[in-house]
Protein backbone atom coordinates (compact mmCIF):
# COMPACT_ATOMS: atom_id res chain seq x y z
CA UNK A 1 0.00 0.00 0.00
CA UNK A 2 1.26 3.48 -0.82
CA UNK A 3 1.65 6.16 1.86
CA UNK A 4 -1.12 8.35 0.49
CA UNK A 5 -4.10 7.96 -1.83
CA UNK A 6 -4.93 11.00 -3.95
CA UNK A 7 -7.87 10.91 -6.37
CA UNK A 8 -11.04 12.71 -7.47
CA UNK A 9 -14.42 11.34 -6.43
CA UNK A 10 -17.42 13.18 -7.79
CA UNK A 11 -17.00 16.88 -6.92
CA UNK A 12 -14.30 16.25 -4.31
CA UNK A 13 -10.55 16.00 -4.44
CA UNK A 14 -9.75 13.18 -2.01
CA UNK A 15 -6.57 12.87 0.06
CA UNK A 16 -6.35 9.81 2.32
CA UNK A 17 -3.31 9.12 4.50
CA UNK A 18 -2.67 5.38 4.17
CA UNK A 19 -0.07 4.39 6.78
CA UNK A 20 -2.39 3.04 9.50
CA UNK A 21 0.29 0.79 11.05
CA UNK A 22 2.40 3.95 11.56
CA UNK A 23 -0.66 5.91 12.76
CA UNK A 24 -0.52 7.72 9.39
CA UNK A 25 2.65 9.57 10.42
CA UNK A 26 3.50 12.16 7.80
CA UNK A 27 6.59 11.61 5.63
CA UNK A 28 8.36 14.12 3.41
CA UNK A 29 6.96 12.44 0.28
CA UNK A 30 3.42 12.65 1.69
CA UNK A 31 3.81 16.37 2.37
CA UNK A 32 5.02 16.97 -1.17
CA UNK A 33 2.17 14.88 -2.61
CA UNK A 34 -0.40 16.98 -0.73
CA UNK A 35 1.26 20.15 -2.06
CA UNK A 36 1.10 18.87 -5.65
CA UNK A 37 -2.55 17.85 -5.32
CA UNK A 38 -3.58 21.24 -4.00
CA UNK A 39 -1.73 22.96 -6.82
CA UNK A 40 -3.47 20.76 -9.40
CA UNK A 41 -6.96 21.26 -7.91
CA UNK A 42 -6.74 24.98 -7.21
CA UNK A 43 -8.00 25.98 -10.67
CA UNK A 44 -9.78 22.74 -11.60
CA UNK A 45 -13.48 23.54 -11.91
CA UNK A 46 -14.34 19.84 -11.52
CA UNK A 47 -13.13 19.97 -7.91
CA UNK A 48 -15.52 21.91 -5.68
CA UNK A 49 -13.87 20.98 -2.39
CA UNK A 50 -11.05 18.91 -0.93
CA UNK A 51 -11.65 16.10 1.58
CA UNK A 52 -8.79 14.83 3.77
CA UNK A 53 -9.00 11.76 6.00
CA UNK A 54 -6.86 8.96 7.38
CA UNK A 55 -6.97 5.19 6.97
CA UNK A 56 -7.45 2.85 9.93
CA UNK A 57 -9.35 3.36 13.17
CA UNK A 58 -6.61 4.71 15.46
CA UNK A 59 -5.40 7.98 13.98
CA UNK A 60 -5.94 10.67 11.41
CA UNK A 61 -2.23 11.44 11.71
CA UNK A 62 -0.25 11.06 14.92
CA UNK A 63 2.64 13.30 13.85
CA UNK A 64 5.62 13.48 11.55
CA UNK A 65 7.83 10.53 10.71
CA UNK A 66 10.85 11.57 12.76
CA UNK A 67 12.99 8.43 12.55
CA UNK A 68 14.81 9.66 9.43
CA UNK A 69 15.22 13.12 10.94
CA UNK A 70 16.93 11.50 13.91
CA UNK A 71 19.15 9.27 11.78
CA UNK A 72 20.38 12.10 9.57
CA UNK A 73 20.80 14.47 12.48
CA UNK A 74 22.88 12.00 14.45
CA UNK A 75 25.09 11.66 11.38
CA UNK A 76 25.64 15.42 11.41
CA UNK A 77 23.33 16.14 8.48
CA UNK A 78 21.19 18.99 9.76
CA UNK A 79 20.20 20.12 6.28
CA UNK A 80 17.89 17.13 5.70
CA UNK A 81 15.63 18.18 8.58
CA UNK A 82 15.68 21.81 7.54
CA UNK A 83 14.59 20.95 4.00
CA UNK A 84 11.85 18.60 5.27
CA UNK A 85 10.44 21.22 7.64
CA UNK A 86 10.64 23.90 4.97
CA UNK A 87 8.54 21.87 2.51
CA UNK A 88 6.13 20.72 5.22
CA UNK A 89 5.53 24.27 6.41
CA UNK A 90 4.87 25.52 2.88
CA UNK A 91 2.28 22.77 2.50
CA UNK A 92 0.68 23.81 5.81
CA UNK A 93 0.40 27.41 4.59
CA UNK A 94 -1.12 26.32 1.27
CA UNK A 95 -3.79 24.35 3.13
CA UNK A 96 -4.57 27.39 5.29
CA UNK A 97 -4.85 29.70 2.26
CA UNK A 98 -6.56 27.30 -0.16
CA UNK A 99 -9.38 29.16 -1.96
CA UNK A 100 -11.83 26.23 -1.98
CA UNK A 101 -13.38 24.49 1.04
CA UNK A 102 -11.09 21.89 2.59
CA UNK A 103 -12.73 19.37 4.92
CA UNK A 104 -10.63 17.31 7.35
CA UNK A 105 -12.11 14.32 9.19
CA UNK A 106 -10.04 14.16 12.38
CA UNK A 107 -10.55 10.82 14.10
CA UNK A 108 -8.33 9.19 16.71
CA UNK A 109 -4.92 10.72 17.34
CA UNK A 110 -4.28 14.09 15.71
CA UNK A 111 -0.87 15.28 16.85
CA UNK A 112 2.02 17.36 15.59
CA UNK A 113 2.19 16.99 11.82
CA UNK A 114 -1.42 15.82 11.83
CA UNK A 115 -2.48 19.18 13.24
CA UNK A 116 -0.58 20.83 10.39
CA UNK A 117 -2.51 18.83 7.80
CA UNK A 118 -5.94 18.88 9.45
CA UNK A 119 -6.36 21.93 11.65
CA UNK A 120 -5.68 24.92 9.38
CA UNK A 121 -8.36 24.01 6.86
CA UNK A 122 -11.75 25.63 6.51
CA UNK A 123 -13.88 22.75 7.89
CA UNK A 124 -12.49 20.58 10.71
CA UNK A 125 -14.67 17.67 11.81
CA UNK A 126 -14.13 15.71 15.04
CA UNK A 127 -15.89 12.68 16.52
CA UNK A 128 -16.00 10.65 19.73
CA UNK A 129 -12.50 9.19 19.29
CA UNK A 130 -10.69 12.44 18.47
CA UNK A 131 -7.65 13.14 20.65
CA UNK A 132 -5.59 16.20 19.70
CA UNK A 133 -2.28 17.38 21.11
CA UNK A 134 0.86 19.37 20.40
CA UNK A 135 3.44 17.38 22.43
CA UNK A 136 6.58 18.71 20.72
CA UNK A 137 8.20 20.15 23.86
CA UNK A 138 8.54 16.57 25.08
CA UNK A 139 10.97 15.77 22.24
CA UNK A 140 12.88 19.03 22.23
CA UNK A 141 10.91 20.86 19.56
CA UNK A 142 8.25 23.57 19.78
CA UNK A 143 4.63 23.33 18.63
CA UNK A 144 5.17 23.78 14.90
CA UNK A 145 3.37 23.15 11.57
CA UNK A 146 1.44 26.32 12.42
CA UNK A 147 0.30 24.84 15.72
CA UNK A 148 1.78 27.75 17.63
CA UNK A 149 -0.63 30.06 15.81
CA UNK A 150 -3.65 27.97 16.81
CA UNK A 151 -2.41 27.86 20.40
CA UNK A 152 -1.96 31.64 20.49
CA UNK A 153 -5.59 32.09 19.43
CA UNK A 154 -7.06 29.70 22.02
CA UNK A 155 -9.17 31.28 24.79
CA UNK A 156 -7.28 32.88 27.66
CA UNK A 157 -4.01 31.09 28.40
CA UNK A 158 -5.27 27.71 27.21
CA UNK A 159 -2.74 27.76 24.38
CA UNK A 160 0.17 28.10 26.79
CA UNK A 161 -1.22 25.23 28.86
CA UNK A 162 -1.63 22.94 25.84
CA UNK A 163 1.69 23.88 24.26
CA UNK A 164 3.78 23.51 27.41
CA UNK A 165 2.15 20.37 28.83
CA UNK A 166 1.23 18.57 25.60
CA UNK A 167 -2.10 17.63 27.18
CA UNK A 168 -4.58 15.85 24.90
CA UNK A 169 -7.82 17.49 23.87
CA UNK A 170 -11.00 15.50 23.66
CA UNK A 171 -13.51 16.55 20.96
CA UNK A 172 -15.24 19.13 23.14
CA UNK A 173 -11.85 20.56 24.12
CA UNK A 174 -10.77 20.81 20.48
CA UNK A 175 -13.90 22.80 19.66
CA UNK A 176 -13.40 25.03 22.70
CA UNK A 177 -9.73 25.65 21.87
CA UNK A 178 -10.38 26.48 18.22
CA UNK A 179 -8.77 23.37 16.74
CA UNK A 180 -12.06 22.05 15.31
CA UNK A 181 -15.33 23.40 13.93
CA UNK A 182 -17.95 20.64 14.04
CA UNK A 183 -18.74 17.48 15.97
CA UNK A 184 -20.25 14.73 13.83
CA UNK A 185 -20.68 11.26 15.42
CA UNK A 186 -18.42 8.82 13.63
CA UNK A 187 -21.27 6.55 12.59
CA UNK A 188 -22.43 9.39 10.34
CA UNK A 189 -19.09 10.01 8.65
CA UNK A 190 -19.50 7.63 5.71
CA UNK A 191 -22.80 9.22 4.70
CA UNK A 192 -21.39 12.73 5.11
CA UNK A 193 -18.33 11.96 3.01
CA UNK A 194 -20.54 10.48 0.30
CA UNK A 195 -22.73 13.60 0.34
CA UNK A 196 -19.71 15.90 0.09
CA UNK A 197 -18.34 13.93 -2.86
CA UNK A 198 -21.70 13.83 -4.60
CA UNK A 199 -22.64 17.49 -4.21
CA UNK A 200 -19.50 19.43 -3.35
CA UNK A 201 -21.56 21.26 -0.71
CA UNK A 202 -19.55 22.06 2.41
CA UNK A 203 -22.83 23.19 4.01
CA UNK A 204 -23.65 19.51 4.46
CA UNK A 205 -21.27 19.46 7.44
CA UNK A 206 -23.34 21.88 9.50
CA UNK A 207 -26.48 19.93 8.57
CA UNK A 208 -24.93 16.71 9.92
CA UNK A 209 -23.35 18.23 13.03
CA UNK A 210 -24.45 17.31 16.55
CA UNK A 211 -24.22 19.43 19.72
CA UNK A 212 -20.67 19.84 20.97
CA UNK A 213 -19.62 17.47 23.78
CA UNK A 214 -18.59 18.93 27.12
CA UNK A 215 -15.06 20.30 27.41
CA UNK A 216 -13.12 19.36 30.55
CA UNK A 217 -10.58 22.05 29.69
CA UNK A 218 -13.28 24.71 29.50
CA UNK A 219 -14.26 23.76 33.04
CA UNK A 220 -10.64 24.42 34.14
CA UNK A 221 -10.27 27.65 32.16
CA UNK A 222 -10.12 29.88 35.24
CA UNK A 223 -7.35 27.84 36.87
CA UNK A 224 -5.44 27.59 33.59
CA UNK A 225 -5.61 31.35 33.02
CA UNK A 226 -4.44 32.05 36.55
CA UNK A 227 -1.43 29.73 36.37
CA UNK A 228 -0.34 29.93 32.74
CA UNK A 229 -0.67 33.69 32.50
CA UNK A 230 2.57 33.96 34.48
CA UNK A 231 5.39 35.55 32.52
CA UNK A 232 7.94 32.74 32.59
CA UNK A 233 8.18 28.97 32.79
CA UNK A 234 9.62 29.25 36.29
CA UNK A 235 6.67 31.38 37.41
CA UNK A 236 4.22 28.95 35.83
CA UNK A 237 5.87 26.03 37.62
CA UNK A 238 5.50 27.85 40.90
CA UNK A 239 1.87 28.72 40.18
CA UNK A 240 0.75 25.18 39.29
CA UNK A 241 2.17 23.78 42.53
CA UNK A 242 1.49 20.07 42.92
CA UNK A 243 -1.03 19.83 40.08
CA UNK A 244 -0.35 17.07 37.54
CA UNK A 245 0.52 19.81 35.05
CA UNK A 246 3.76 20.30 36.97
CA UNK A 247 4.86 16.78 36.06
CA UNK A 248 4.21 17.45 32.39
CA UNK A 249 6.10 20.75 32.55
CA UNK A 250 9.14 19.10 34.12
CA UNK A 251 9.09 16.38 31.46
CA UNK A 252 9.56 18.82 28.58
CA UNK A 253 12.75 20.39 27.29
CA UNK A 254 13.28 23.60 29.28
CA UNK A 255 14.60 25.35 26.17
CA UNK A 256 11.56 24.29 24.15
CA UNK A 257 9.18 25.38 26.91
CA UNK A 258 10.73 28.83 27.18
CA UNK A 259 10.79 29.34 23.40
CA UNK A 260 7.18 28.16 23.07
CA UNK A 261 6.01 30.68 25.66
CA UNK A 262 7.84 33.49 23.86
CA UNK A 263 6.46 32.43 20.46
CA UNK A 264 2.89 32.56 21.75
CA UNK A 265 3.55 35.99 23.26
CA UNK A 266 4.87 37.31 19.92
CA UNK A 267 1.97 35.86 17.94
CA UNK A 268 -0.58 37.53 20.20
CA UNK A 269 1.27 40.86 20.20
CA UNK A 270 1.61 40.91 16.41
CA UNK A 271 -1.75 39.32 15.55
CA UNK A 272 0.29 36.89 13.46
CA UNK A 273 -0.92 35.07 10.36
CA UNK A 274 0.04 31.59 9.23
CA UNK A 275 3.17 32.60 7.31
CA UNK A 276 4.55 34.68 10.18
CA UNK A 277 3.91 31.83 12.64
CA UNK A 278 5.58 29.24 10.43
CA UNK A 279 8.55 31.54 9.85
CA UNK A 280 9.10 31.88 13.60
CA UNK A 281 8.67 28.14 14.13
CA UNK A 282 11.21 27.44 11.39
CA UNK A 283 13.82 29.60 13.12
CA UNK A 284 13.64 27.19 16.04
CA UNK A 285 13.36 23.91 14.14
CA UNK A 286 16.22 24.85 11.80
CA UNK A 287 18.44 25.08 14.90
CA UNK A 288 16.80 22.30 16.92
CA UNK A 289 19.25 19.52 16.09
CA UNK A 290 22.49 21.46 16.42
CA UNK A 291 21.64 23.86 19.25
CA UNK A 292 18.51 22.43 20.84
CA UNK A 293 17.32 19.25 22.51
CA UNK A 294 15.65 17.55 19.55
CA UNK A 295 18.06 14.66 19.03
CA UNK A 296 18.18 13.86 22.75
CA UNK A 297 14.40 14.13 23.01
CA UNK A 298 13.83 11.72 20.14
CA UNK A 299 16.44 9.33 21.50
CA UNK A 300 14.72 9.13 24.87
CA UNK A 301 11.14 8.94 23.55
CA UNK A 302 11.41 7.01 20.28
CA UNK A 303 14.79 5.30 19.87
CA UNK A 304 15.91 4.01 23.28
CA UNK A 305 12.50 4.64 24.87
CA UNK A 306 14.05 5.12 28.31
CA UNK A 307 11.96 8.30 28.89
CA UNK A 308 14.91 9.92 30.67
CA UNK A 309 16.22 12.68 28.39
CA UNK A 310 19.22 14.68 29.53
CA UNK A 311 18.25 18.23 28.60
CA UNK A 312 20.72 21.09 28.15
CA UNK A 313 19.03 23.13 30.91
CA UNK A 314 17.35 22.58 34.25
CA UNK A 315 13.61 23.39 34.48
CA UNK A 316 12.96 27.13 34.49
CA UNK A 317 16.61 28.10 34.01
CA UNK A 318 16.66 29.19 30.36
CA UNK A 319 17.65 32.83 29.96
CA UNK A 320 15.86 35.35 27.71
CA UNK A 321 19.10 35.67 25.75
CA UNK A 322 19.11 31.94 24.95
CA UNK A 323 15.51 32.17 23.77
CA UNK A 324 16.38 35.16 21.57
CA UNK A 325 19.19 33.19 19.93
CA UNK A 326 16.88 30.27 19.04
CA UNK A 327 14.23 32.59 17.56
CA UNK A 328 16.56 35.04 15.81
CA UNK A 329 16.21 35.54 12.02
CA UNK A 330 18.14 33.05 9.91
CA UNK A 331 19.44 35.55 7.37
CA UNK A 332 19.86 33.91 3.98
CA UNK A 333 18.36 30.69 5.38
CA UNK A 334 15.09 32.31 6.50
CA UNK A 335 11.96 30.49 5.33
CA UNK A 336 11.32 31.82 1.82
CA UNK A 337 7.70 31.97 0.71
CA UNK A 338 8.60 32.71 -2.91
CA UNK A 339 10.46 29.52 -3.81
CA UNK A 340 8.69 26.38 -4.95
CA UNK A 341 9.47 23.13 -3.10
**pLDDT, mean over the chain:** 96
| DSSP H or E segment with residue 105 | strand 102-106
The pLDDT value given to residue 75: 96
* Angle (CA) 40 42 43, round 5°: 90
Cβ pair 101, 11 in contact under 8 A: no
List Cβ neighbours of 330 (8 Å cut-off, separation of 6 or more): 282, 283, 286
Q: Please give the CATH number for the structural domain made up of 4-333.
A: 3.90.226.10
Q: Which residues are catalytic?
A: 64, 113, 136, 144
User: For residue 151, is it left (φ>0), alpha (ψ between -120 and 50) or beta?
Assistant: alpha
The pLDDT value given to residue 208: 98
In the chain, which stretches have pLDDT less than 70?
1, 339-341
CA distance 264 to 160: 7
Cβ pair 138, 297 in contact under 8 A: yes
Neighbours of 230 (CB within 10 A): 17
The pLDDT value given to residue 340: 53
The pLDDT value given to residue 34: 98
Neighbours of 266 (CB within 10 A): 15
Amino acid sequence: MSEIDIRIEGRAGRITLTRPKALNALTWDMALAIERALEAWRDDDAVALVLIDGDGDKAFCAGGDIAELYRTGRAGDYDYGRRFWLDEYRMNARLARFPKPVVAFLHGFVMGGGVGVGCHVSHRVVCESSRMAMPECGIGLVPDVGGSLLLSRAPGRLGAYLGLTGDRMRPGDALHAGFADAFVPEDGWAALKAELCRTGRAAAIAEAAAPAPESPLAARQGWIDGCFGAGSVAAILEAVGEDEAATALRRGSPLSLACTLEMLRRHRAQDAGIEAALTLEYRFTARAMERGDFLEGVRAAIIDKDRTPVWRHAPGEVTPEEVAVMLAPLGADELNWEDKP
